[in-house]
Amino acid sequence: MADMPDKIDREESAEIGRRRKLRNWGLLLALVAFSGLFYAVTIVKLMKPH
Amino acid sequence: MNDTAATAGVTNRGELSPLSVSAPSVSSSPAARDMLASESELRDWITLLKPRVLSLVVFTGLIGMVVAPGHLNPVLAFAAILSITVAAGAAGAINMWFDRDIDAMMHRTRNRPIPGGRIAPEAALGYGIFLAGASVMVMFLATNAAAAAVLAFSIGFYVFVYTMWLKRRTPQNIVIGGAAGAFPPVIGWAAVTGSIDLVPLLLFAIVFFWTPPHFWSLALYANADYRRAGVPMLPVVAGPRETRRQIVLYTLVLIPVTLAPWFIGFSGLVYAVSALALGGYFLACVWRVARDRQDADGTSLTNDRPARAAFKYSILYLFLLFGAFALDRIVGVVSLSQLIG
């Protein structure tokens, strides 16, 4: 990846921040969806008559 | 040098320090521009999963589930389809990790996240392995061991057999390796029934024989890219003329294979007529590819217009064929229930 820069302007800083924020939200959403899926699968399996 | 500019810094939480920014009017250093260019976007992580390929994978997997005898709870069916989708994406991410050197050489792929420098290769590999493992685990928990085993096998087949072994060694790479893309209907069927029958194997065979004409149509007009990257695709090794001949031959084999579900009595006339009509048009498309105006070396003089059209139609063809297969089953079930009622 890129070396640490000496100077960075405000627009670039804002853009980097935006990308990181979006990535973090994406990861959060994926984790919540994954947990929800696990919960739903467990409930369905528990309801299944044996 | 502007006085407001300060030394750049990143806090230990990975945030850019407020003191690190300079006034917008001041141009930043090349390193800052590199940093911005190497900062991946969310869409880069989605691109790693090859989303354009996934639609066909999801659809054929779904049809495998729809036509299978039995019932699967909708939540579990959703989990199964999601597993197939994520597994295919994970295999794609590992493929992009392995092929990053040749991707960088080809026009079509050089802006992918890894050759573009926006995602580190090891991060892409970790992402792919994690998603592959998670998808197999979810499939096992939601459905059964058979479906999870076939899913795991299909990922392994795509990564080890196609990507690592065949792709750079033989022009038969997509013939044998194409089997990886033929697994979804088998997995869908296994998710519902817990076993593998003749019908999912026929669906497998349909996708298997469809892959060469589909992919070689693309390879005909992406020939220069593959040659540059040293990938021994059929047009590179055997030339465009032989490729066109092979496309026609595989399509001629494909059409009877698509009729096999009707021959064994699993599908009815709706499917048989659709398969014949769709196959007939596919044959006409590939015949135009074979008859394309070409020079003495077989290079197209029409910018491979027929091959481009055949490639586009081949995607529609598989969607419609599998759609007709499912429709035929649904219509069949309705008429049978009406007869019984």
Residues in B touching A45 (Cβ below 8 Å):
141
Closest by Cβ to A4, choosing from B8, B42, B45: B8
**pLDDT digit string, tens, across residues B293-338:** 999 888 899 999 999 999 999 999 999 999 999 999 888 765 555 6
CB pair distance less than 8 Å for B29 and A7: yes
Which of B226, B225, B229 lies closest to B102 in space, CA to CA? B229
Q: What is the mean pLDDT of residues B253-264?
A: 96
CB pair distance less than 8 Å for A4 and B28: no
pLDDT at B11: 42
d(CA B271, CA B279): 12
What residues have CB less than 8 Å from B5, skipping those under 6 apart? A7, B22, B23, B26
How near does any CA of chain B get to the CA of A4, in Å? 7
E strand spans, chain A: 8-9
Cα–Cα separations (whole angstroms), residue B191 to B106, B107, B147, B158, B179: 38, 39, 5, 20, 19
How near does any CA of chain A get to the CA of B70, in Å? 15
Restricting to B residues 68-127, those with a Cβ less than 8 Å away from any Cβ of A are 73, 75-76, 79, 82, 117, 120
Please identify which residue in the block is written with the tokens 């055997």: B238
**pLDDT digit string, tens, across residues B144-171:** 999 999 999 999 999 999 999 999 999 8
Residue B248's region, left for phi above 0, alpha for psi from -120 to 50, else beta, is alpha
d(CA B17, CA B10): 5
Closest by Cβ to A44, choosing from B24, B34, B75: B75
Q: What is the ipTM of this complex?
A: 0.77
Check: CB of residue B215 under 8 Å from CB of residue B197: no
Residue of A nearest to B22 (CA): A9
CA atoms within 13 A on the CB side of B292: 31
pTM score, two decimals? 0.84
Compute the CA torsion angle B251, B257, B262, B266 (nearest 10 deg): -140
How near does any CA of chain A get to the CA of B163, in Å? 25
d(CA B22, CA B281): 62
